């Protein structure tokens, strides 16, 4: 049934406790206590095809939103069929590692055959379906002497000592207002996929093109004007609140010269009156970038 919603694999894991040192996302660390009806936690793998490495539209977040609604529809169907099931946000990487499924990667993500690291995980507590074992799902670490992600990461978050969460852009991009150092290096809306594009585990995956609907929704000028409704519907409202997409579009447009300077000036001026601090601060960044680009063009004699 999960397959009907795009999930490629489902692992039924024990609802065992997972102690965490810190728990900023308020994950359920004791599923047996939280969901006493559950025989297992069904961890569902939703694979997606990455876009071209230069694409700003985030393949992961489009997939994540689709997977989320797929999970909700699945829960509804199970409930209607008399099977109790509830969303169960557990520490998924730890649960997979404990069950010996896939392999941990140097960039802190996980690889699951045959999807590389290009998948979204959703998990539900379900009654009546006992945990299973998955001896064939173990994967030898592909990392060994590979340094592709280390070399690709623009923040130095991966080195011979391991992965440094405090240097990774991903957690620092969770709020709408990004630091300028992130605006200078960000490649895709909402999150960072740079190390995943570099990873040979993902190299053989089929690529996809964003749909015409996504192209239209993520048009930089449209977003920079504050019209983010369509894009927010595609990536999910919780991932795009407080003017986040508008702020990111302004930064991309100025940094990469995506909108003619005269028009961008108008958009920056309008953004300066936005109710969202992230949009106002991105407008300041964009104005600085425009000035820098103009100075550079003058120097280059253009
Ligand atoms: S790029 Fe290489 S080192 Fe990094 S996660 Fe992929 S396989 Fe591992
Ligand atoms: S997500 Fe981005 S910042 Fe984080 S490790 Fe990967 S490339 Fe580096």
- Closest ligand 2 atom to residue 108 Cα is 5
Asked if 267 and 225 count as a contact pair (C-beta separation under 8 A), the reply is: yes
d(CA 93, CA 101): 10
Per-residue pLDDT in tens (0 to 9) along the chain, 302 residues: 999 999 999 999 999 998 888 898 899 999 999 999 999 999 999 999 999 999 999 999 999 999 999 999 999 999 999 999 999 999 999 999 999 999 999 999 999 999 999 999 999 999 999 999 999 999 999 999 999 999 999 999 999 999 999 999 998 898 899 999 999 999 999 999 999 999 999 999 999 999 999 999 999 999 999 999 999 999 999 889 999 999 999 999 999 999 999 999 999 999 999 999 999 999 999 999 999 988 888 888 75
| pTM (predicted TM-score) | 0.94
- By most ligand atoms within 8 Å of CB, the mutation choice from 118, 187, 194 for ligand 2 is 194
- Ligand 1 pocket member 103 (CB < 6 A): no
Strands (E), the chain: 9-13, 40-47, 85-87, 103-104, 110-111, 119-126, 158-159, 162-163
Cis peptide before 288 (omega within 30 of 0): no
- Closest ligand 2 atom to residue 167 Cα is 3
- DSSP-assigned letter for residue 113: T
The distance in angstroms from the start CA to the end CA of the chain is 60
- Closest ligand 2 atom to residue 163 Cα is 5
Q: Which ligand is nearest to the CA of 195?
A: 2
- By most ligand atoms within 8 Å of CB, the mutation choice from 102, 115, 143 for ligand 1 is 143
- By most ligand atoms within 8 Å of CB, the mutation choice from 139, 141, 201, 205 for ligand 1 is 201
C-alpha distances out from residue 239 to 61, 151, 176, 253, 283, Å? 8, 28, 9, 20, 20
Residue 202: Cβ within 10 Å count: 18
**Comparing C-alpha atoms, which of 154, 102, 129, 110 is closest to residue 13?**
129
**Comparing C-alpha atoms, which of 93, 85, 58, 80 is closest to residue 223?**
58
Q: Which ligand is nearest to the CA of 117?
A: 1
Contacts 24+ apart (CB under 8 A), 227-236: 231/189, 234/62, 234/65, 235/58, 235/61, 235/62, 235/64, 235/65, 235/189, 235/190, 236/61, 236/64, 236/65, 236/68
- Closest ligand 1 atom to residue 106 Cα is 5
- Closest ligand 1 atom to residue 150 Cα is 4
Residue 9 has phi, psi (to 5 degrees) of -145, 150
pLDDT digits (tens, 9 = 90+) for 102-159: 999 999 999 999 999 999 999 999 999 999 999 999 999 999 999 999 999 999 999 9
> 98 CA distance to ligand 1 centroid (A)?
21
d(CA 4, CA 88): 20
Domain ranges of the chain: 2-132, 211-302
Q: What is the CA radius of gyration of the chain?
A: 21
> 196 CA distance to ligand 1 centroid (A)?
8
- Ligand 2 surroundings by CB, under 6 angstroms: 107, 153, 155, 157-158, 168-170, 192, 194-195
Give the tokens for residue 79: 């409930």
pLDDT digits (tens, 9 = 90+) for 241-270: 999 999 999 999 999 999 999 999 999 999
């Amino acid at each position: 049934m999960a397959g009907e919603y795009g999930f490629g694999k489902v692992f039924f894991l024990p609802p065992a406790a997972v102690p965490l040192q810190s728990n900023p996302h308020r994950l359920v660390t004791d599923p047996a206590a939280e969901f006493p009806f559950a025989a297992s936690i069904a961890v569902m793998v939703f694979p997606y095809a990455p876009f071209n490495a230069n694409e700003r539209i985030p393949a992961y977040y489009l997939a994540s939103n689709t997977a989320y609604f797929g999970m909700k529809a699945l829960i509804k169907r199970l409930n209607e069929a008399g099977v109790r099931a509830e969303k169960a946000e557990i520490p998924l990487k730890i649960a997979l590692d404990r069950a010996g499924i896939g392999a941990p990667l140097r960039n802190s993500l996980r690889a699951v055959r045959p999807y590389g690291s290009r998948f979204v995980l959703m998990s539900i507590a379900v009654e009546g379906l006992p945990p299973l074992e998955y001896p064939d799902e173990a994967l030898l670490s592909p990392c060994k002497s590979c340094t592709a992600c280390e070399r690709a990461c623009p923040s130095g978050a991966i080195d011979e000592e391991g992965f440094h969460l405090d240097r990774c852009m991903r957690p620092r991009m969770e709020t709408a207002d990004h630091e300028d150092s992130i605006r200078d290096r960000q490649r895709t809306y909402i999150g960072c996929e740079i190390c995943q594009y570099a990873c040979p585990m993902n190299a053989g995956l089929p690529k996809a093109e964003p749909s015409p609907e996504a192209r239209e929704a993520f048009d930089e000028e449209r977003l920079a004007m504050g019209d983010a409704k369509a894009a927010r519907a595609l990536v999910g409202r919780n991932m795009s609140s407080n003017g986040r997409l508008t702020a990111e579009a302004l930064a991309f447009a100025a940094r990469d010269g995506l909108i003619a300077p005269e028009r961008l000036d108008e958009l920056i001026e309008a953004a300066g009156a936005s109710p969202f601090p992230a949009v106002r601060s991105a407008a300041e960044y964009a104005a600085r970038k425009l000035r820098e680009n103009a100075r550079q063009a003058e120097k280059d004699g253009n």
